[in-house]
Amino acid sequence: MSTDSKKKDVTDEDVENQIRNIFNQNKIDDLKKFLNKRACLNRTNHVLIYLFHIIQSAGVLTTTIAAGYNMKELVWIGVGMNILASLINVFEKTNDSMSKRILKDIQSIKTGTYVDEGSIIDVDVKNHDNKSSQNKSEGNPIGNQSATESEAGDTETLLPNKSATLKKLVKGPLISDTAVPNLDNNQKNIPK
């Protein structure tokens, strides 16, 4: 048999099985990678937590002793140690949030809802997808563009969705929502 006849014997079912196997292997590889990352983050966080408490306690003790004996230089060393401890705490919190995100990915692999290459920051993609499908149905060629490409010509329609998303992230009003005087009217009244 020639290689051409072997290629023709491949059915749609074989192609679907190969695709399914590739995706399943990718999920297994991602699961192993996530478990290793999570274990590494957990080990690192244990060290960071102990280091934070040791440095913070040493900073407080140094600052207290230095203030009691009126040693100004030593006070600043204690303050520096407390700043370092705060920085270590920030790293620990960042690692913790990354670990939680990885745990969500592990759980989604387990339930079968995993989407490969998920973003770290959850973005409201639903509004952009609706806009893209609407543009495609209207025959508009910009439906295939990314959000940054389509923003240049269509900022008025995208800004309300972005403002709503930003309000959810900030959990409060945006600066653009506050009363800002119209600079054009004020500039007209300025004498030249």
166 within 8 A of 174, measured Cβ to Cβ: yes
pLDDT given for residue 12 in this prediction: 87
Give the pLDDT of the chain (192 residues) as one tens digit per residue.
455 555 557 788 889 999 999 988 989 999 999 999 999 999 999 999 999 999 999 999 999 999 999 999 999 999 999 999 999 999 999 999 999 999 999 999 999 888 876 555 433 444 444 444 444 444 444 444 444 444 444 433 334 444 455 455 555 554 545 544 444 444 444 554
Tell me: do 85 and 129 sit in the same domain: no
DSSP secondary structure, 102-146, as one string: HHHHHHHHHHT---TT--SS---HHHHHHHHHHHHHTT-GGGGS-
In a domain, 157, yes or no: yes
Tell me: do 94 and 139 sit in the same domain: no
Number of domains composing the chain: 2
Task: Please give the residue range of the domain that contains residue 138.
Answer: 125-188
pLDDT given for residue 172 in this prediction: 56
Tell me: do 42 and 130 sit in the same domain: no
Predicted TM-score (pTM) of the model is: 0.53
pLDDT given for residue 115 in this prediction: 81
Two tokens, residue 41:
């983050």
